[in-house]
Structure 1
Amino acid sequence: MTENPKALWTPDEARLNHSRLADYQHWLEMNHGLRFADYPALWTWSVDRLADFWESIWRYFDIRHSMPYTAVLDAERMPGARWFEGARLNYAEQVFRHHLDEPDRPAIISRSELRPTAELSWSEFRRQVAAMAASLKRMGVMPGDRVAAYLPNLPETAVAFHACAAIGAVWSSCSPDMGSASVVDRFSQIEPTVLLAVDGYRYGGKDFDRLDVVRSLRRSLPSVRHLVLLPYLDAQASLEDAAEWKALIANDAEPAFEQLPFDHPLWIVYSSGTTGMPKPIVHGHGGVLIESLKAHGLHGNLQADDRFMWYSTTGWIMWNSQMMGLLLGATLCIYDGNPGHPDLGVLWRFAEEAGITFFGAGAAYYAGCMKAGLKPRELADLSRVHSLGTTGSPLPPEAYDWIYREFGPGVLLVGISGGTDVAASFVCGCPTLPLYAGEMQCRALGVAVYAMDEQGRPLEDEVGELVVTKPMPSMPLYFWNDPGGKRYHDSYFDTYPGWWRHGDWLRITPRGGAIIYGRSDTTINRHGIRMGTSEIYRVVEALDEVQDSLVVDLEYLGRESWMPLFVVLAPGAVLDDALKQRINRHIREALSARHVPNEIIAIGAVPRTLSGKKMELPVKKILLGMQADQAASRDAMANPESLDVFIDLARQRQAAAA
């Protein structure tokens, strides 16, 4: 599979000298006498000498702690590795060490469809967090108690999260665009003592009242002792027995940070929940802290003078990831609302207003801008942007090319792929390496990730299962309410015992870069040729007439497989025979004749999760005959109505086969 692509971006001397990764390597040489010829040599050391590497991250970033650790790592085993035993620290304390001498510096710059652009200074942010932390303690919230948040992506949400972290409460959030059943599925498993909720929100120019949903949540969560309401849609909104948000931040408490073990729970996040009950995944204070400093600091090159945005909702791990930017002292720039309303330029205009230097979004957003023929630099002054981040699904090479046509060679595209499961990236960007179209630049430091065949043998320049062979500090502590850890073990360690199997197809290129080919459990297997779905999407969505697509390979016992391709057409396009022939020809020429679909069907929208992932497996299950409510939870979807066409198609096929 070897090819020789041209680099789209190469770091110049100024970029290299300004990079935190170069400074870290200099620090290793000065303090430990370690020199590395190139990034691959540094990565190899980081996974071969795992404990030494993570201890160097602790020391390089000067992690604040009240008690020292007795050992970095007890054993290189999974699951069950124990990191930095004996250490006591607090995630929020690491955040608030920054900008003490610059109280008016903005900590958060925010905008939403309901609010104009506004700034929250570091001093006011610190004051509000201290006040809310004190109020939660007065409510009786203790370390380990769960606080559930049904809130949009607002400064108040960031304040509440850091207040919980400061007192050792365990944070868990859902976005208010999620329906009550989906939220109850998540929060009921963790039995929160406090519920923080919003009265409503605006999205795409439409108002959504959520007071009845909040009432329903309160009834469905008997563990909740206190309800706190944030009036957002209506400034006068109130609920019976609910405390007022402004009352919780009205006191003048001094900042205080509960000193906690390294593995004390920080937050609970959830698997997609599109099939079955969502898994409550618990991450720890120390693991998230040290991983985030490494990832954002070394790989993202995020620094204290940056203004950092990653468009997200509070139901996606990228919201948590954006919060981590504060650990480096960066200013967070957050937007709440529809990124396509009133048009796709709204986020780019916000980037100009906020002076954003690092702009992140899901791959689907960039692909949408490309398809729409958008020219971001004609819409807004983006001269301060030095990095663009992408994740959520594989970004096709054509989108890489579009970004570099529109932004020029001075901007680094930082592609990452990891997951909610680990609150980290397996493969990611690097400010000291060239960038090639379609690739993430490298394997992350300290992450022993490989493409493996079915026998557990590493593959070179071939597609295989994404497997991690050594523990990471940010791997889940456990799943909540999972006695004996069976559900946790079965989710990641049943295929390769002792190794983490993530469920993605991965190829490590001869340059050390990485390409993700989609989920391995939705692989297309045509006549013995296995292929990730993203390869088909790349070819199909390169056509101007196709905005989006979804493909599934239906394998029937005793019958030939049937592989339909579903396409969302661009405005004005028609799926006639000529377009079908063009699509098939492109697939045949770019991939193989085996991967030409049996049928091409036009649909209104591709079903997607709230985090923007295409729902291939639920669609496959529906078309194979599973009841829709068993195959997918509509409350966990961004566009639940999009399933209807597949339900109707399944009925038609079942009737025809009868």
Structure 2
Amino acid sequence: MSDPDWTPPISAGSRLEGFAELASTYAGRELSASDAAGYDELWRWSVDDLDGFWRAVAEHLGHRLPGPALAVERMPGAVWFPESRVNYTAAVFADRPADEVAVLGVSEDPDATTALTWAELHDRVAGLAATYRRLGIGEGDRVVGYLPNSPDAVVALLAAASIGAIWSVCGMDYAASAALARFQQLEPKLLVHATSYGHGGRTHDRRDVVDELRAGLPSLAATLETGSTAWDAALAVEAELEPVGVAFDHPLWVLFSSGTTGKPKGIVHGHGGAMLEQAKVASLHYDLGPGERLFWYTTPSWMMWNFVVGGLLVGASIVAYDGSPAYPRTDQLWALAAEHGVTALGMSPAYVAACQKARVGPAAHDLSRLRRVGISGSTFPAVSHRALQAELGPDVQICSISGGTDVVSAFVGSVPTVPVWAGELSRPCLGVALDAYDAAGRSVHGEVGELVVTRPMPSMPVMFWDDPDGERYRSAYFDTYPGVWRHGDWITLTDHGSVVIHGRSDATLNRKGIRMGSADIYEPVEALPEVKEALVIGVEEPDGGYWMPLFVVLAEGVELDAALDRRIREAIKVHASPRHVPDEIFAVPGVPHTRTGKKLEVPVKKVLAGQDLTGALDPGSVDAPELLDHYAEIALRRRARP
């Protein structure tokens, strides 16, 4: 077994260890989480006794939830806490100190920072909830937001949840067509919107998009513009905050998949499931609570925005940032974390790589309060991990997580008392019955398999929107292994208990019967100073052949000549294996991504195979759909060869 790259400090005194003491009373035996072996035993109990575990989690979080936790176990269709009435907003405001900061609003303008105390947040939510009611919004009605990442967006969500309305939001980088593709499905009664957002030193005026949204949503009874006189008046209404008690699975919000084909899927989560799952990860895996401050670079369109809002559930303070992660300086996130005393900071592997290539990062900043750096969105290469850990030092844990919009939480990630190995995620999260299956549905360890979850999680979707018979929901997760959740990722469960994520299984590389993860190729290639980003695709051909090209985005002024081609091939051969070496290497102007930053492997694969994506691709879910034309041209030229 390789040595870990980070080892927990002795006697960390984490919230997880305190929870283990409580869990012991439910388990009827002593449980501990003070080291990896203790955590593994706690995890095993958490998935063997879901009822006891989730009742213990509820007690740990201060919730009184009567009756059984898991009344009916099946997937899909598990029934959780049927005797309980809950409300997400009520949980946010339970026993909070009035004068401490709850939400910090930050932008690229350092003079425009705003801070809301818990009392101010409470009063704004109460006033807006009263305004919603006055406008005729009630339980089950849909409230949608077209908003930047701001305190106003947090207030708008919490006000909707408090009255049992259903929330959905798009960030303001979305075009009108992309936002309408989502919102029109919901037939919303109220639109909350801003008129502009900031990014890259510019204020982006979006009034024309708002006009299109109003025109394209005939179901609207009203609109509210943040920052307007009407908005200020709505927040200032003096009213009691009276959250409505709803069923555990009452719809809280609709998140839309970052998938790139077909109509965006509306994924509905319930109040109770989101409340318990998000708070569990925040408290037990990220060790967040009162006195901590969480800042994750995200937009309201991505589930990580919901995850950050979930930090309020454990009494942590959160940062809402409207701006670019790299403006006015490449290391902007590190600078903001230092300025605002952030204790848990989240970012993408691509941002870490950009800082490392620019030779800037955490070392130049006073990050004495920082304890955890979260990594999400894609696989984090081991070389980047080790370089970042060296800069951060032993007091800061790098916490890679993997989960999804589907469960608005994490399946696997970090643990405060378990070591971290670069390029690996330390452990499955508590309560997540994670396994790896082969094609026959057999559990496999030490080799690549499908990520599956064999028992229910409370934050699995209540339903998909506009899916009355549940067929789309079942086919999304349960067709391959009936009764078992298949997530669509290739993973390996290692001999020391960690999890390696290899990438999406529908975009896997399968060369001569050998499965390979694209991340194994990206790591050595993107470590080269000449390469900004890489994309590798495996295409099955009609004659039984297999074509595996590699596409590279080069640094400014660099050309793909024979020498660089050889360096790239040699890096892959040395750091992955000879079978990972691509058939051809092409320089391209860019790699298209989903709005959440994931490389567009599947659509590019379809383009290279000659498929026409017209009408099938959702352009609103892609950052630069026009880039696909370059890949289509490469495929055409290849097919024209003698």
TM above 0.5, yes or no, is yes
1:215-258, Cα deviation, whole Å (9 max, x unpaired) = 11111111111111124xxx7xxxxxxx8322321211111111
Task: Report the alpha carbon displacement of residue 46 of structure 1 after superposing the two structures with TM.
Answer: 0.9
AA paired with 1:589? V
Q: Is the 8 A contact 1:492 1:500 kept in 2?
A: yes
Quote the residue 2:16 is aligned against.
21
Quote the residue 1:121 is aligned against.
117
Quote the residue 1:177 is aligned against.
173
Quote the residue 1:59 is aligned against.
59
Q: Is the 8 A contact 1:180 1:217 kept in 2?
A: yes
Quote the residue 1:188 is aligned against.
184
1:554-595, Cα deviation, whole Å (9 max, x unpaired) = 111125222110111123432110110111122223333332
AA paired with 1:465? E
Q: Of residues 209, 214, 228 in structure 2, which corresponds to 1:213?
A: 209
Quote the residue 1:532 is aligned against.
517
Quote the residue 2:349 is aligned against.
363
Q: Of residues 306, 310, 319 in structure 2, which corresponds to 1:324?
A: 310
Where do 1:427-506 residues align within 5 Å?
427-506=412-491
Shift in CA distance, 631/532, structure 1 to aligned 2, threshold 3 Å: farther
Q: Is the 8 A contact 1:628 1:647 kept in 2?
A: no
Please say which of residues 419-428 and 4-13 is displaced more in the overlay.
Answer: 4-13
Quote the residue 1:265 is aligned against.
251
Where do 1:451-600 residues align within 5 Å?
451-558=436-543, 560-600=545-585
Task: Report the alpha carbon displacement of residue 371 of structure 1 after superposing the two structures with TM.
Answer: 2.5
Q: Of residues 133, 136, 141 in structure 2, which corresponds to 1:137?
A: 133
Coordinate RMSD, CA, aligned: 1.6
Counterpart Cα distance in 2 of 1:445 and 1:517: 22
Q: Of residues 352, 355, 375 in structure 1, which corresponds to 2:361?
A: 375
Secondary structure, counterpart of 2:486 in structure 1: strand
Quote the residue 1:311 is aligned against.
297
Task: Report the alpha carbon displacement of residue 458 of structure 1 after superposing the two structures with TM.
Answer: 0.8
Counterpart Cα distance in 1 of 2:95 and 2:447: 44
1:335-385, Cα deviation, whole Å (9 max, x unpaired) = 11111122221111111221101111122212222222223221x211110
1:479-510, Cα deviation, whole Å (9 max, x unpaired) = 01102100000000000001000000111111
Task: Report the alpha carbon displacement of residue 52 of structure 1 after superposing the two structures with TM.
Answer: 1.1
Secondary structure, counterpart of 2:144 in structure 1: strand
Quote the residue 2:34 is aligned against.
none
Secondary structure, counterpart of 1:215 in structure 2: helix
Quote the residue 2:384 is aligned against.
399
Counterpart Cα distance in 2 of 1:281 and 1:166: 20
1:334 aligns with 2:358: no
Please say which of residues 4-13 and 28-37 is displaced more in the overlay.
Answer: 28-37
Q: Is the 8 A contact 2:248 2:271 kept in 1?
A: yes
Tell me, which stretches of 5 or more residues in structure 1 are unaligned? 236-242
Quote the residue 1:108 is aligned against.
103
1:512-559, Cα deviation, whole Å (9 max, x unpaired) = 111100000001111111111111111211222212100111111125
Shift in CA distance, 631/653, structure 1 to aligned 2, threshold 3 Å: farther
Shift in CA distance, 186/537, structure 1 to aligned 2, threshold 3 Å: same
Counterpart Cα distance in 2 of 1:247 and 1:640: 41
1:290 aligns with 2:285: no
Counterpart Cα distance in 1 of 2:175 and 2:613: 17
Counterpart Cα distance in 2 of 1:363 and 1:244: 41
Q: Is the 8 A contact 1:621 1:631 kept in 2?
A: no
Quote the residue 1:424 is aligned against.
409
Secondary structure, counterpart of 2:148 in structure 1: coil
Q: Of residues 74, 80, 88 in structure 2, which corresponds to 1:83?
A: 80
1:46 aligns with 2:46: yes
Secondary structure, counterpart of 2:539 in structure 1: coil
Task: Report the alpha carbon displacement of residue 116 of structure 1 after superposing the two structures with TM.
Answer: 2.4
1:172-201, Cα deviation, whole Å (9 max, x unpaired) = 011110111111111111111111111121
Task: Report the alpha carbon displacement of residue 322 of structure 1 after superposing the two structures with TM.
Answer: 0.2
AA paired with 2:163? I
Counterpart Cα distance in 2 of 1:590 and 1:111: 41
Q: Is the 8 A contact 1:465 1:504 kept in 2?
A: yes
Quote the residue 1:35 is aligned against.
30
Secondary structure, counterpart of 1:9 in structure 2: coil
Identity score, percent: 46
Quote the residue 1:226 is aligned against.
222
Q: Is the 8 A contact 1:351 1:359 kept in 2?
A: yes
Q: Of residues 590, 612, 615 in structure 2, which corresponds to 1:605?
A: 590
Q: Is the 8 A contact 2:85 2:246 kept in 1?
A: yes
Structure 1 stretches of 4+ with a deviation exceeding 6 A read none
Quote the residue 1:244 is aligned against.
230
Secondary structure, counterpart of 1:254 in structure 2: coil
Where do 1:266-281 residues align within 5 Å?
266-281=252-267
Please say which of residues 532-541 and 586-595 is displaced more in the overlay.
Answer: 586-595
Secondary structure, counterpart of 1:549 in structure 2: strand
AA paired with 1:199? T
Counterpart Cα distance in 1 of 2:633 and 2:430: 47
Shift in CA distance, 645/244, structure 1 to aligned 2, threshold 3 Å: farther
Q: Is the 8 A contact 1:618 1:631 kept in 2?
A: no
Q: Is the 8 A contact 1:9 1:410 kept in 2?
A: no
Q: TM-score, normalised by structure 2?
A: 0.96
Please say which of residues 199-208 and 284-293 is displaced more in the overlay.
Answer: 199-208
Secondary structure, counterpart of 1:565 in structure 2: strand
Q: TM-score, normalised by structure 1?
A: 0.94
Q: Is the 8 A contact 1:194 1:224 kept in 2?
A: yes
1:6 aligns with 2:3: yes
Counterpart Cα distance in 2 of 1:612 and 1:605: 13
Task: Report the alpha carbon displacement of residue 29 of structure 1 after superposing the two structures with TM.
Answer: 3.2
AA paired with 2:359? G
1:93-150, Cα deviation, whole Å (9 max, x unpaired) = 1111132xx3221111121135622211111111100000000011111111111111
Counterpart Cα distance in 2 of 1:197 and 1:544: 42
Q: Is the 8 A contact 1:106 1:122 kept in 2?
A: yes
Quote the residue 1:72 is aligned against.
69
Q: Is the 8 A contact 2:142 2:189 kept in 1?
A: yes
Task: Report the alpha carbon displacement of residue 655 of structure 1 after superposing the two structures with TM.
Answer: 4.7
Counterpart Cα distance in 2 of 1:209 and 1:137: 30
Shift in CA distance, 415/219, structure 1 to aligned 2, threshold 3 Å: same
Counterpart Cα distance in 2 of 1:433 and 1:543: 31
Counterpart Cα distance in 1 of 2:616 and 2:387: 36
Tell me the matched-pair count: 636
Counterpart Cα distance in 2 of 1:381 and 1:274: 40
AA paired with 2:63? I
Tell me, which stretches of 5 or more residues in structure 2 are unaligned? 32-36
Quote the residue 1:240 is aligned against.
none
Counterpart Cα distance in 2 of 1:565 and 1:225: 51
Counterpart Cα distance in 2 of 1:221 and 1:363: 37
Counterpart Cα distance in 1 of 2:262 and 2:337: 38
Secondary structure, counterpart of 2:469 in structure 1: helix
AA paired with 1:308? L
Shift in CA distance, 656/228, structure 1 to aligned 2, threshold 3 Å: farther
Secondary structure, counterpart of 1:160 in structure 2: helix
Secondary structure, counterpart of 1:228 in structure 2: strand
Shift in CA distance, 436/312, structure 1 to aligned 2, threshold 3 Å: same
Task: Report the alpha carbon displacement of residue 32 of structure 1 after superposing the two structures with TM.
Answer: 5.4
AA paired with 1:554? V
AA paired with 2:258? S
